[in-house]
Amino acid sequence: MSDSIQTKRRRTDPQTILCDMCAEDRKPAKKTCMKCEISMCVQHLQAHLTTPVLLQTHPLTEPMDLCGNTKCSQHGKLLEYYCLDDMTCVCVSCAIEDQHRLHNMKTFSTAHKELLEKLKAEQLILQEKTDDENVSLEKWEKSEREKLGRCSVRLIEAVTNLRDISLTSVQSSVSARMVSLKTSKSSMEAAQKEKDTFRFLQMYSQVHQDVEKAKAVDLSKGLEPGSHRDKLVEEMRQNGEKMVKQASQFWGSLLTLVDPEHHQELVPTDSHLIFEPQSLGPGMSLSKDNRKVFHNSWLGQCCATLLICSTKTASSYQRWVVSLPEESDWMIGLCDKKCAKNLKDGAVYGLCWEDKQLSSLTTKRCKTVSHVSDRSFIMDEWEETPLIKTGKEYMVSSSLITYQGENGVEPVPRPEKVEVLWNFPASTLSFFSRTGQHQREEIITMKLNESVNIQDMAPFIQLGKQNTDSTTQQQQWKCSCGKVYYWDGNRYRDHSSSYSYQSTCSCGKVIGVTEMVCKLC
């Protein structure tokens, strides 16, 4: 661009772009040619609009002060395209040869149109947020203060109640002991004032008893042993548990406020969650509140499938925490309610601990279904080999979960307690290993298939292997220490034992005892 043109522009209003081709009485520019690097009024623009070569190769924009920024700094060529991936203007060499060649490229006009539409859509979304009457700093602060206030009030009430019970009960006992001290003091003072020898000796026996009783008084001791103290201790334990629960909820609310992504509703689950058995082996049983699962190894293998049901309606998410057995395989997650008794017939998402390895289970929809005789022939796009199954539209795939350890890639260890978070709006299922009351480590988050109807899904847990024939007495029992015992028709025994009535393992564990293997936390 010539120095005379630059000088002319500096003499005019910087907000008005004038025609660079007008010699005198410069008129406002109508368009700017990116290639010629000049701005033109209506009259001087005609050549660019009527000459085919100029019309095709010279991009025109609204009037603008170019300031020498229309050329690529790397190639020196005209900037003609916009890279949507890197959000920058590029030349033709950048678009076809260099780092942008595999990116999403658009012409200026197309990029302008698409990005303008995107901004309008985002503006509507933000407008909905700002128009929401609940979106204000004052209302947010009021809401959070009320939420935390309720937790703190309950905690203060629990602490105050526990304090008052303790002080009131011990105070009455201390008061009685202090009476003994006062009585002994009065007796000693009376004896010291007595001048008559005979009367002094007569009263000394009682004074001695009062003094000995006072000497035995210990004001630092609690209540005297007895039923009253036992009853009070039990009451204090119950109130103490409430206090700990309130403190835990208050702590969880603070963590959720500060770091909601990793501590979403990280408080103890409510008792409205229960197990609903779909299949139970002969050695399996449930507690009265349907929150614990027991296994008697005398009667059969650990084998059960249970849905996890709630008596409350969940709004945007559902969460459950389960402690899992150490010695049995298990599976936890979501399954099709209609196929709970046979998980292989429906969609499944979850974690699976089998053969001392942790895997993730996801469901994929099969692409092609064509009927062959009475069975459905299913070709799954993820497998090279066709699958022949009876009327199935989904395929459940398993993937080993690993992490980068000191010795390279290592399998994830078995979690003792698993927390599952089902996010309805996001259609995600997250699994965490609970390492403490308010500590957890994420294992995996999986996306639910869009073709799966969420209304048909339900939380479940499977212990052992499904459809295992466990109707007969086990022929062998393996202890956690590794030793194997065999059933001789009456009791389990070790091959090395000379008698067949062994009831305990050499490690001390009782053979075939009923144990709790799973519970809702």
Mean pLDDT of 504-510: 69
Q: 3-class SS at 225?
A: coil
Of 97-101, 116-120, 419-423, the least confident = 97-101
Return the beta strands (E) in 55-158 as ranges: 60-61, 81-83, 88-90, 105-107
Q: Radius of gyration over alpha carbons of the chain, in Å? A: 40
The closest of 110, 113, 90 to 102, measured between CA atoms, is: 90
Confidence of residue 107 (pLDDT cuts 50, 70, 90): confident
Is residue 506 within 8 Å of residue 496, measured between CB atoms?
Answer: no
Cα–Cα separations (whole angstroms), residue 182 to 172, 178, 189, 209: 15, 6, 11, 13
Give the whole-angstrom CA distance, residue 386 versus residue 380: 6
The amino acid occupying position 50 is T
The closest of 374, 389, 417, 372 to 269, measured between CA atoms, is: 417
Give the whole-angstrom CA distance, residue 343 versus residue 466: 8
- Whole-number pLDDT of residue 307: 93
- Locate 503 and state its tokens: 């009831």
Strands 402-405 and 394-400: unpaired
Share of the chain above pLDDT 90, in %: 10
Strands 88-90 and 417-423: unpaired
Mean pLDDT of 487-504: 56
pTM over 0.85: no
Strand partners, 349: 334
Crossing angle between the packed helical segments 227-258 and 137-193, to the nearest 10 degrees: 150
498 Cα distance to chain centroid = 54
Give the whole-angstrom CA distance, residue 504 versus residue 261: 48
Give the whole-angstrom CA distance, residue 421 versus residue 459: 10
Of 156-170, 252-266, 378-392, the least confident = 378-392
Give the whole-angstrom CA distance, residue 144 versus residue 187: 63
pLDDT for 347 beyond 80:
yes
